[in-house]
Amino acid sequence: MRSIYLRLNLLYVIIVTTVLAISGASSYYGLRYDLERRHDELRSGLLTRLQSSAPLALWDFDTDKINGLLDGEMLPSEVLAICVFDTSGNLFAGKMRADDGGVTTAALTKLPAGETVDAPLLFQRRDTNGASSNQIKVGRVSIVFSRAAIARTLQEAVARKALEILVLDVLLVVALSLGLRMVFAPLRQLKSGLFTLASDSSHDVDELPEDRQDEIGDLVRAFNRILRRLKEIINQTRKAEESARLASAETAKAYDDLRMAQASLLEAERLASLGGLVAGVAHEINTPVGITLTSASVLREATGAIQERMREGGMKKSDLAGYVETADESTRLILANAERAAQLIQSFKQIAVDQTNEARRSFTLHAYLNEVTTSLNPRIKKSRVRVLVDCPEDIAIDSYPGALAQIVTNLIMNALVHAFGPEQPGTITIRARQSAGQVELLFADDGKGIAPENISKIFEPFFTTQRGHGGTGLGLNIVYNLVAKQFGGTVKVDSRLGHGTRFTISFPATAPQEEFA
């Protein structure tokens, strides 16, 4: 983590160092300019004096005078050597600075290294009248200057400025450290308290002392108020969590009870449907069984009568013919109604076994739909509604026949209860098609239709518009659950008021392998 304390120190050090460096650079270049200017003035002044004084002495071959001039000009320490040459290039006189700083006679082969300046020495000739005539070159002068003093002065200036920057930076860091410590020490306490508050429990954080009366003290007091508030909130939250935990446990128990109740209601709905089927089939079988019993009773009476005539020996041909006619009609009625009763019993047996058994098997859809509708004939006959089945005979599926019977039964009973009035005629059409391993079962009626505000609710458990008139609100919910969970399919509904309702059920011809839960 980057410390603001260190960054502030670094920032101020950089600022002060930059400002002092800029100031030092300005002073450095100013000093350098002054030194260079004085050096140029020294050089130009020295050349001017030598060019004005040395030509006459050289013209007069006055060596002592030139040496005296050179001794005077060697006083500045920047001058390392002065050599005067005649027109032939021979050294006429010269002075040079020794290693100890003194002035000695110059030797041409031992001139020191430095900045060398050469200038001609010109003598101004005059005529007999004292007027100036042409200038004559009588020699030249070479001067060797040293720049060591300039470099030394500049180095000393740079060293002084660097030392000044260093001292000011140290003083600034010390002053900032002492000043910032007054701010950052309580801030570190606040940080420690906040970290403890965030990582542990508010009960482990102590309030900070509120003895300061400055901005930091205001911050500390605000922190303490926040801490007290957080402790209150945490206590309230813990109480709420405990209440929520208890409520969650109660909700889970209520949900389990609701699921058990719903399962019981679904089973009751299924058994009620089976009970209605039993009652209807019993009523339907009653007619053919009654006719069979009546016909058998008539045949028995006729047989007893013909046997009595035979014992008495007074049987006539007409008596025998009448008996044969009665026996033929009675046996025909007995066989026809017995077959009708056997068909009803067989359909009821198959549907009843399927509705009470969750086992899957392969079956033909066309035949099974006919068996289901046949078993519902006693209920259908009480209305003016007819049921039409349109299904190819070659559709074979591997699925749960009991669940399919429950679906078709619930849809038909739902239509009879909700779609049609007591004496309202109508048609229920069950159409099945198979494509690419999918079976589409269309269940349509031309009844009242469903109100738009109820379409989204019809598959919800316990939703019914006929409560108090036999509606439980579980019929379509059972249909939806069986199609979605057991068949692995989908069910859609399309309805308009006054134009009937259409349920489109799509499911695979081979049901999923998962067991229905």
Phi, psi of 389 (to 5 degrees): -115, 120
Domain that holds residue 420: 357-517
| Domain-embedded: residue 96 | yes
Domain boundary among 119, 151, 170: 170
What pLDDT, in 10s, does the model give residues 190-245? 667 666 666 655 555 677 677 776 666 777 777 778 777 877 787 888 888 888 88
Q: How far apart are CA 348 and CA 334, in angstroms?
A: 21
Strand-pair category, 426-435 with 385-390: parallel
Residue 482 included in any domain: yes
Strand (E) or helix (H) holding 17: helix 4-59
The pLDDT score that the predictor gives to residue 1 is 40
Instruction: Assign residue 99 the CATH number of its domain.
Output: 3.30.450
Task: Return phi, psi of residue 142, to 5°.
Answer: -120, 125
144 strand-pairing partners: 81, 116
pTM of the model: 0.40
Q: Is residue 45 part of a domain?
A: yes
Q: Count Cβ atoms below 10 Å from residue 197 Cβ, excluding itself.
A: 19
* Secondary structure (3-state) at 254: helix
pLDDT at residue 268, rounded to an integer: 60
381-436 pLDDT tens trace = 888 899 999 999 999 999 888 888 888 988 998 888 888 888 889 999 999 999 98
C-alpha dihedral sign at 213, 217, 219, 220: negative
Question: Residue 393's domain is classified under what CATH number?
Answer: 3.30.565.10
Of 123, 138, 170, the last residue of a domain is 170
Side chain identity at residue 90, one-letter code: N
Contact in structure between 438 and 511 (CB atoms under 8 Å): no
> How many domains, in total, are found in the chain?
2
| 489 within a domain of the structure (yes/no) | yes
